[in-house]
Amino acid sequence: MKTKKIKSVLITGGLGFIGLNLSQFFIQKGIEVFVLDSKNENSGYNEFHLLTLKKKGLTIIEGTIGNIHKHREILKNVDSVVDLAGLIGHLDSMKNPLADIENNTVEHIRFLENIKGFKISKIVYTSTRQVYGKQEKMPVDENATVKPLDFNGINKYSTESYYSIYSKHLNFDVVILRLSNIYGEGMHIRDKRLSFLGWFMNRIITNNPIEIFGDGLNVRDLLYVGDLVNTIYNSLVMDVSGIFNVGSDKTFTLKRIAEILVDLNPKSSIIYVPFPDVLKNIDIGSFIIDNSKAKNLLEHREIVSIEEGLKKTYEYFQKYKGYYL
């Protein structure tokens, strides 16, 4: 596969969970990193990430992606972008759909309008497997019918479409990654708004029981963030474009995931509770993603097992939990 060298990269939403890990990965690769972040805690921003990355010497810009034109002089020579910006709370999107469409679609249109004249040749946009909604046929590949169950999924899918059209008009390549259950060091664990696994981690870090809705037999795939950042890097340097699913080939029931976590901290436990009515209409049930395309064209690989990844994540939060709880 043909590859190209990237000298500099802009990471939007770079002070969140994935941004923290990706920035450090790029720095180790010798790539000049610029981070643009609005410091919105509702989308995963953490002050500890700001302090951590400042020590690395990269350039951090406070602002929304829609106002990128204000930083043109700083960013005029950036050749690549990884767009992580946006809100990811599915229930939050149902409570406040206007905030979700503003952050997950409108701001990205402003961004795309304002990068005219920049030297950007490649953009990676991170979307979500939530765009697929409930699917009967598993595993789910990129040709499956898109039918999101919440406003977050609708808005992320809309932005995928805007990226596809703008890439043709502005002459840049775009890779859209539909991510599935990414976890690892730096993930949001303060509350249950952004991911079920973040809240599971909160429970064992604080010696509290993990609550499982229903029987816990719905299945999920979990991908460690260290494996994701490799795939994002490949997405930038490889001569490819298009939409790719990115997750794990291995699936686990929610019950089994909780059991692995409780094994890390036996002071925690598992309890089963009824499924909340507020979540029933937007829950996708079991979901198995097909990563074949990403494996073939992006060399997507899962190197870290769920047991190893959850252990590394648990140890990180044991050390730094004061910054996350």
Q: What is the pLDDT of residue 2?
A: 61
Boundaries of domain holding 127: 8-323
Instruction: List residues bridging with 123 in a β-sheet.
Output: 81, 174
Confirm whether 3 is domain-assigned. Answer: no
Token pair 């030297």 is found at 119
Confirm whether 57 is domain-assigned. Answer: yes
CATH number at residue 131: 3.40.50.720
- Structure tokens, 142: 């990129």
Collapsed DSSP state (helix, strand, coil) of residue 122: strand
**Domains: count for the chain:** 1
Instruction: List residues bridging with 8 in a β-sheet.
Output: 32
Confirm whether 35 is domain-assigned. Answer: yes
**pLDDT per residue as tens, the chain (325 positions):** 667 889 999 999 999 999 999 999 999 999 999 999 999 877 789 999 999 999 998 999 999 999 999 999 999 889 999 999 998 888 889 899 999 999 999 999 999 999 988 999 999 999 999 999 999 899 999 999 999 999 999 999 999 999 999 999 999 999 999 999 999 999 999 988 888 999 999 999 999 999 998 888 999 999 999 999 999 999 999 999 999 999 999 999 999 999 999 999 999 999 998 877 777 777 777 899 999 999 999 999 999 999 999 999 999 999 999 999 9
Confirm whether 1 is domain-assigned. Answer: no
Confirm whether 108 is domain-assigned. Answer: yes
Q: What is the pLDDT of residue 76?
A: 86
Confirm whether 275 is domain-assigned. Answer: yes
Pairing mode of beta strands 219-221, 210-213: unpaired
Confirm whether 31 is domain-assigned. Answer: yes
Q: 293-321 burial by CB neighbour count: b if 16+ within 10 A, else e?
A: bbbebbebebebebeebbbebbebbeeee
Confirm whether 300 is domain-assigned. Answer: yes
* Residue among 307, 234, 262, 285 nearest 6 (CA): 234
